[in-house]
Amino acid sequence: MLSKIHYAKPSITEREVAYAADAARNGWAEHCFDYIHKFRDLLKDYLGVPHVIPTSSCTGALHLGLAALGIGPGDEVILPDITWIASAAPVTYLGATPVFVDVLEDSWCIDPAAIEAAITSQTKAIIIVHIYGNLCDMDAIMAIGKKHGLPVIEDAAEALGSVYKGKKAGAIGDMATFSFHGTKTVTTGEGGALVVRSDALFDKISILESHGRDPRVPKQFWCEQIGYKYKMPNIAAAIGAAQMERIDELVARKREIFKEYVAQLGGIADLRFNPEPEGAYNSYWMSTVVFGKTIPFVREDLISDFKKGNIDARVFFYPLSMMPPFEKCPQNKISYGLYDRGMNLPSYHDLTKDDISRVCGVIKNYLAKSRNPS
């Protein structure tokens, strides 16, 4: 039986184990925030941003950010159709409407022209998603936000370590969110973070994220308003702190894995990979391929071949507007023509060259069969 090849899992060393054990033994009472603060400061320094709030999930971070902006019923928030539902769900939590627009063919990220075309008097924010580590056209998007007076929120859940024209993903927009789920380049098990550039918004979020308690009010258990509880646990932050101390190593390994896939599959005509345009540095969270329309391709057949080879298969995201909770947007032609021709490839740090060769072998054999059916 061939060994299992997973699509994602974290890189855990003795450093993470030691920090987690220390948090479990000693991270209580007056030390209950020690690793949360350590993780916060490491992330803040890495990104070069003024404010970071560690959270229990990226979804919670986005909910906090949107709530601080006053998003509510009757408001619209523009976001890409191709993303995970966590980018849209917090919009609905607040009673607002997500407006899904199309993505670009080359980057699979939100189309700036589609953003501008979708802006109405009800639009209150723009959420962009650096999908799979790929980078959005931030110059164009920030210019649109400035022109229309709209805050731009970077959903950088999948892009820690990516760099756009010298600026880290998550350090460009008015706000940003990150995920530290167990599949991500840096993990806390479950967890997220909210990045805020404005001091005034940070003060507002500091109250919202603590059940409405204002840190400037000395009364114990006194709440100024209804808030939320999305704090990251200290033990989770301990793992995250160890991971952040290894961030350059972790991102470099993701890039090595991607380059090996390109080396083995790059000769296949009309097979596209995560892009890295001039001025960008892609952290390649998830090495991804999109099969062009000249290639006979049925996603479910390739998934079946992967399973026979004991390899986990991970599909490209569906357009959110295809899903039952939302209204269909078939006008988003690139999104609707992209999802079923894309596959995420196994991308975890401990993947070996032989593992990658196994994955590539399945793809090559599949393509040979699809082009020459017997």
Please state, for a pLDDT cut of 70, what percent of the chain lies above it.
Answer: 100
Domain boundary among 244, 263, 294: 244
Same domain? 80 vs 218 = yes
pLDDT attached to residue 371: 78
Same domain? 311 vs 216 = no
Report the CATH number at residue 329: 3.90.1150.10
Same domain? 342 vs 216 = no
Per the structure, the count of domains in the chain is: 2
Please give the average per-residue pLDDT across 357-369, as a whole number. 97
pLDDT attached to residue 1: 80
pLDDT digits (tens, 9 = 90+) for 192-203: 999 999 999 999
Residue pair 312/7 in contact (Cβ under 8 Å)? The answer is: yes
**What DSSP character marks residue 308?**
H
Residue 106 has pLDDT above 80, yes or no: yes
Domain boundary among 244, 261, 294: 244
Same domain? 204 vs 294 = no
To which H or E segment does residue 54 belong? strand 51-55
* Residue carrying structure tokens 């967890």: 191
Confidence of residue 114 (pLDDT cuts 50, 70, 90): very high
Residue 87 resides in a domain = yes
Q: Whole-angstrom Cα distance, residue 79 to residue 115?
A: 8
Report the CATH number at residue 215: 3.40.640.10
CA contacts within 13 A on the Cβ side of 234: 15
Residue 227 resides in a domain = yes
**Structural domain range at position 334:** 247-371
Confidence of residue 309 (pLDDT cuts 50, 70, 90): very high
Residue 145 has pLDDT above 80, yes or no: yes
Q: What is the mean pLDDT of the chain?
A: 97
Same domain? 325 vs 351 = yes
Residue 6 resides in a domain = no
Has 184 been annotated as catalytic? Answer: yes
Same domain? 277 vs 217 = no
Q: How far is the CA of 105 from the CAs of 272, 321, 342, in angstroms?
A: 10, 18, 12
Please state, for a pLDDT cut of 90, what percent of the chain lies above it.
Answer: 97
Residue 60 resides in a domain = yes
Residue 346 resides in a domain = yes
Residue 1 resides in a domain = no
Residue 3 resides in a domain = no
Q: Whole-angstrom Cα distance, residue 21 to residue 340?
A: 43
Domain boundary among 219, 244, 269: 244
Confidence of residue 374 (pLDDT cuts 50, 70, 90): low
**What DSSP character marks residue 322?**
G
Same domain? 105 vs 200 = yes
DSSP per-residue codes, 182-210: TTSSS--BS-EEEEE--HHHHHHHHHHTB
pLDDT attached to residue 372: 78
Same domain? 235 vs 267 = no
Same domain? 143 vs 194 = yes
Residue 308 has pLDDT above 70, yes or no: yes
Same domain? 18 vs 162 = yes
pLDDT digits (tens, 9 = 90+) for 214-270: 999 999 999 999 999 999 999 999 999 999 999 999 999 999 999 999 999 999 999
Same domain? 230 vs 321 = no
Same domain? 53 vs 150 = yes
Please give the average per-residue pLDDT across 161-174, as a whole number. 98
Residue pair 125/153 in contact (Cβ under 8 Å)? The answer is: yes
pLDDT attached to residue 16: 98
The structure tokens listed for 249 are: 């190593």
Residue 156 resides in a domain = yes
Q: Whole-angstrom Cα distance, residue 34 to residue 234?
A: 7
- Identify the active-site residue in 38, 124, 168, 184: 184
